[in-house]
Amino acid sequence: MKLARIGILTGGGDCPGLNAVIRSVAKPAMAHFHAKVFGIQDGYEGMVEGRYRELSPIDVLGIINQGGTILGTSNKGDPFHFPMGERGNLRIVDASDQVIENYRNMKLDALIAIGGDGTQIIAHKLYQMGLNVIGVPKTIDNDLDATDITFGHDSARAVATEAIDRLQTTASAHHRVMIMETMGRYAGWIALGAGLAGGADIILIPEIPFSWDRVFEAVLKRSKGAKFSIICVAEGAKEEGGDMSVRQMDKKRTDPVRLGGVGELIAKRVEDETGLETRVTVLGHVQRGGSPTAFDRILATRFGAVALQSASRGEFGVMTSLRENNVITVPLQDAVGRQRLVPPDSQLVFAARAVGTCLGD
């Protein structure tokens, strides 16, 4: 298929590796296909509002190691759930027809949509409406099905692991319980991976509801020996029979729930019930920032190259995927059918239990 005009957008939350994908699509598109490459600004929001610019070879020079995205992004730009108006007069409308119109006005041969589950769900809907769309999976949460891992996750996990390493020294010095709250939404991949790598004593994830008594028992036992404890908790963790901690509801987003606050909740309960001095660190957006790891740079580059290859073959309605260390494409409908959560019987969980980590159950 002749590729003359290609669009790229980055949707949802930012993460390390986005620029590596942009680079690996744009460079060969310009060099080998002599195509014009257009960067849509601020994800689908820019696609609705017609905000884009043509990229030059200079734009993608030396960006493989840069975090964030040179195109900007937004997690409030779902064309099928698009916010219009001011706060006091906010309306949610279907602006998908505007996306179709702008796609045609740009005369695009293909649109590369880089993002997580929300971005890929939108990409699938737009493909069903007739657009030539290819998805590239990104999310620090690693909760996108149909791929073994998403780029961005390794970088976030590395940041969280380093944070645990640093917390251990101050926890040991002051004989405290240190709680670190990670991102991850409804999946516990970051907390589990970082907690295992950092040697956390207690790891709490959404997939394994915890018992308060088990948590209290674990920190009291540690206080009699090592005299400090590290608790790594995912923002979506919850007690048995309880609900996740919701910080805010934002109706501009397709998923209006903003999680947060579970770290503070656990800290208060632990200190009240055990009398042990407890402190909380909420990593928040630190996990999204900074340079990507070597793994994420390579994976993002492979994803972008395969996405462009698929476009050149006229293969649309697919998403790039890492399966058994090979990058392939899978139908978008398979990628968005369900979330990828931590199986309670997974080898990561088994390994954590094997080294004595308390999972709260």
Active site residues: 141
One-letter-per-residue 3-state SS of the chain: CCCCEEEEEECCCCCCCHHHHHHHHHHHHHHHCCCEEEEECCHHHHHHHCCEEEECCCCCCCCCCCCCCCCCCCCCCCHHHEEECCHHHCEEECCHHHHHHHHHHCCCCEEEEEECHHHHHHHHHHHHCCCCEEEEEECCCCCECCCCCCECHHHHHHHHHHHHHHHHHHHHHHCCEEEEEECCCCCCHHHHHHHHHHCCCEEECCCCCECHHHHHHHHHHHHCCCCCEEEEEECCCCECCCCCCEEEECCCCCCCEEECCHHHHHHHHHHHHHCCCEEEEECHHHHHCCCCCHHHHHHHHHHHHHHHHHHHCCCCCEEEEEECCEEEEEEHHHHCCCECCCCCCCHHHHHHHHCCCECCC
Give dist(CA 115, CA 117) in Å, integer.
Answer: 7
Give dist(CA 321, CA 329) in Å, integer.
Answer: 6
